[in-house]
Amino acid sequence: MARPWIDAWHEALYGPDGLYVRDEPHAHFSTATSPGLVEVLASAVVELMRRDGLSRFVDIAGGGGELAAAVCDLAPDLHVTCVEVRSRPADLDPSIEWVRSPGGAALPDALRSLTGALVLAHEWLDNVPCTIAERVGSALQEVCVGTDGTESLAGPVDEAEAEWAQRWWPQGGRVEIGTARDDAWADLVSRLDDGLAVAVDYGHLRQARPQTGSLTAYRLGEVVVPVPDGSCDLTAHVAVDSLVHDRLLTQRELIRELGLVPASPDRAMARTDPAGYLRALAHRSAVAAMSDPDGLGGFRWVLVRRP
């Protein structure tokens, strides 16, 4: 039976037999928490925390704990918590706290009144299901989907969604309505009493929305047709400018602002410390990859300082 995309998507990822309940994300795609890149991400996290004197790192949608572990390696004095749908990986550093989450837009009740914390959601919001609609004349009609991926149009979207689309995504035939993501993000921010909330994701701005939408599916490393049957990841880029924010910048801008671009290692080091020289070169390449404006450097960082 066809259901609104937002419901079918939620069930496929977070239902009783959902992809993220069964599987770990990196079985299907890689992110900047992969070896090599994750150290760059961790150094950005630690630098932001040191600048604001924060002592607790909360990794929302922490995957297999890769970023949490890299932050611990870099700054063992920090208190680190991972919030995830799946259960705690057996080999995770015992000092990392693990909190189970319902998934999608919902966060655990235990996560409240956070103080002195940097709360970061790396590639969470793109996996928060949203309403998908198509413009038919001047009306916005909700798109429904069957478990085989066949789409059909239902009635008009609700008033709040129509207003969001009018304000934030006024053009294009297919619209991924951001209200569910805006609300999920605002909910997360409201749980932080004092500190910094950060969302990092691939996103777009009002002046350059994807005109035919961005819903994409990954299965075992390949891009496949989006089907909400629990066999693949379902993701759509985030309309980052509609999220509550104090600052919005690209990853490239942030890495530069934090002074994380290393100088080239001295060539003489290749003779005196060849292993160190290779490590320095590898780190420099990882920073370049994370700053590439046509790749990961184009990721958006959304920052909110509380109170």
Ligand X SMILES: C[S@@+](CC[C@H](N)C(=O)[O-])C[C@H]1O[C@@H](n2cnc3c(N)ncnc32)[C@H](O)[C@@H]1O
Contact 260, 43 (CB under 8 A): yes
Torsion, Cα 223 227 230 232, to 10 degrees, reads 0
Residue 117 makes contact with ligand X by CB under 6 A: no
Residue 226 makes contact with ligand X by CB under 6 A: no
Residue 176 makes contact with ligand X by CB under 6 A: no
Q: Considering only residues 121-150, where is the footprint of ligand X by CB under 6 A? A: 122-124, 127
Instruction: Figure out which of the listed residues 4, 63, 203, 213 binds ligand X, where binding follows CB under 6 A.
Output: 63
Torsion, Cα 247 252 256 261, to 10 degrees, reads 150
Residue 57 makes contact with ligand X by CB under 6 A: no
Closest by CA to 157, choosing from 132, 122, 184, 185, is 132
Of 57-65, 70-78, 270-278, 295-303, the segment contacting ligand X by CB under 6 A is: 57-65
Instruction: Figure out which of the listed residues 11, 39, 84, 134 binds ligand X, where binding follows CB under 6 A.
Output: 84
CB nearer to ligand X: give 169 or 218. 218
Strand partners, 217: 224, 234
Residue 118 makes contact with ligand X by CB under 6 A: no
Contact 275, 178 (CB under 8 A): no
Of 98-106, 156-164, 204-212, 220-228, the segment contacting ligand X by CB under 6 A is: 98-106
Residue ranges with strand state E in 126-254? 131-136, 139-145, 151-156, 174-177, 192-201, 203-204, 216-219, 222-224, 233-235, 238-239, 247-250
Q: Which residues contribute to the site for ligand X (CB under 6 A)?
A: 20, 25, 31, 33, 60-63, 83-86, 101, 103-104, 106-107, 122-124, 127
